[in-house]
Every structure is written in structure tokens, then in C-alpha cells.
Amino acid sequence: MRTRGGVLVANIIAGLALGFVVANIGFGDYAELNRMFTFQDLRMLLAFGGGVAMIVVVFALIRVRRTPGRVHPGVIPGAVLFGTGWAVSGGCPAIPIVQVASGYLPALVTIVGIVVGVRLCRWANARYFHLDVGSCGR
């Protein structure tokens, strides 16, 4: 599964499963999201935290290779902006796709916003920040 075709198949499987799981947890539902972030309902929080905990344990057991990662100056300001945007719009980069797929048509606007934001960051980084921000998912 490490060839081009293999990665393509793996991405399709991961995308299908991620979309299915995220939608069924309720991440596309703004009311559920706000209840998670305000700790009124711990269900989604436990789903996310529990998922991360299982991944940590399994990755440790199967000794997953660790690629280097460092806290560069963009991490904290970037995360603050992202968290604010997520709480306001109800979308992280995957969720508006799931929202549109569930019939919430205005989430298309969130997607347009993400497209603009990604391009803006690239432009601002090349012009002003000059950060090697690295990238997950490589």
C-alpha cells in the first residue's frame, strides 16, 4: 500500500470512513459542537479524546515511526485562530464538507472561507512570516 495506487486507495478508504464517522459522531451539528466546547455534553469530547488515547496506545505498541516535529512560532497563533474559527463557524477543514454532504448548504460559504484562508496564509507566509510551518499529513 505504499505505491501511488496504494496511497490513493488508502486515502479513499480513509476519507470515506472519516466522513462517515465524523458525521455519525455529530461534529457537523453546530448545537452538538457548542455543547462539547462548553462541556454541557461530554459525548463528543470523549469520542475525540478516547480516539486519541487508543491511537497513542496502539502506536506505542506497534512502535510507529516518529517523524520530527517542533513547536515553531506559527503553532500557537495559528491554533488560536483555528480554534476561534471552529467555534464560530462550526467547521474544521473536514467538517464543512460533511455539513454540505448532510444538506447544510450554507457550509459552502465556510468552504470558500477555508480556501481563501489557506491561500492567504501561503501568501502571508511567503511575504512576511517566512516560517517553515511544516505540514501534517505528508
- 76-115 residues near other proteins, rule: CB under 8 A: 76-94, 96-107, 109-115
Is 47 a binding residue for other proteins by CB under 8 A? The answer is yes
Q: How far apart are CA 24 and CA 79, in angstroms?
A: 25
Contact by Cβ (8 Å): 133, 125: yes
**# of chain residues touching other proteins (CB under 8 A):** 121
Residues 6+ positions from 101 with CB-CB distance below 8 Å: 19, 23
Q: How far apart are CA 19 and CA 55, in angstroms?
A: 18
Is 4 a binding residue for other proteins by CB under 8 A? The answer is yes
Shortest reach from residue 9's CB to other proteins, in Å: 9
Residue of 118, 129, 111, 135 lying closest to 28 (CA atoms): 111
Is 63 a binding residue for other proteins by CB under 8 A? The answer is no
Q: How far apart are CA 70 and CA 98, in angstroms?
A: 31
Is 66 a binding residue for other proteins by CB under 8 A? The answer is yes
Shortest reach from residue 96's CB to other proteins, in Å: 7
Shortest reach from residue 123's CB to other proteins, in Å: 10
Residues of this chain, 23-42, that bind other proteins according to CB under 8 A = 23-26, 28-34, 37-39, 42
